[in-house]
A = this chain, B = another copy of it.
Amino acid sequence: MSDPTAGLNSEQLGAYFALMEVSSLLQYAVEEHLRADGDLSWVQFQILARLVDAPEGRLRMTDLADGVVYSRSGLTYQAGLLDKRGLITRSPSPEDERSVMVTVTDAGRELVARVLPGHVARVRGLLFEAMSDEDLAALGGVLARVRAHMRATPPRSAKRRAGRSGAG
């Protein structure tokens, strides 16, 4: 564990910078592919991927916002683009008339299916090719723990309606 009053030691600094560089390079490579192969931004791909995984391919805007985007207007903007292209549809929820249900269309599912192989190929080639099975287990374990910690840690300056689960 770490002393909350001290700076970061060199091992922590190294891990921090490595994390940021690795994720940056990975996201850049993946976005480049998504854009070239499916004309999708990272956020758009995440929205579609979540919907494809959801029961009946449907989620509320609020559920989508949570974890994908840091502001609601940002989600509305991206959903608008996907809607225009016929990859999703939006309709008012019958249960709660304030809510909007977002549904993947067949075209949306097809696009995800078309883009996915190249996507995972890039992730494998950049991220997992350099990893042993033990590396993978270790990385996955630590990151899962850290993610749970982050989700449970509210931002210092908690904003109202910030979109993130921890920020509301």
**Which chain A residues have a beta carbon within 8 Å of chain B's beta carbons?**
1-2, 4, 7-8, 11-12, 14-16, 18-29, 32, 36, 67, 70, 116-117, 120-133, 135-150, 153, 155-157, 164
Contacts and interface: CB of A to CB of B under 8 A. Distances in A.
A7 to B, nearest CB: 5
A24 B27 CA distance: 10
Contacts of A131: 1-2, 142, 145-146
Copy number in this complex? Answer: 2
A129 B144 contact: no
A11 B140 contact: yes
Nearest to A70: B28
Contact of A149 (B15, B16, B129, B157): B129
B8 A144 contact: no
Contact of A135 (B127, B142, B147): B142
Contacts of A135: 141-142, 145
B155 A29 contact: yes
A143 B19 contact: yes
Nearest to A151: B25
Contacts of A24: 23
A2 B24 CA distance: 22
Given A1-B132, A120-B8, A145-B130, A125 B153 contact: yes
B143 A8 contact: no
Given A22-B146, A123-B16, A8 B139 contact: no
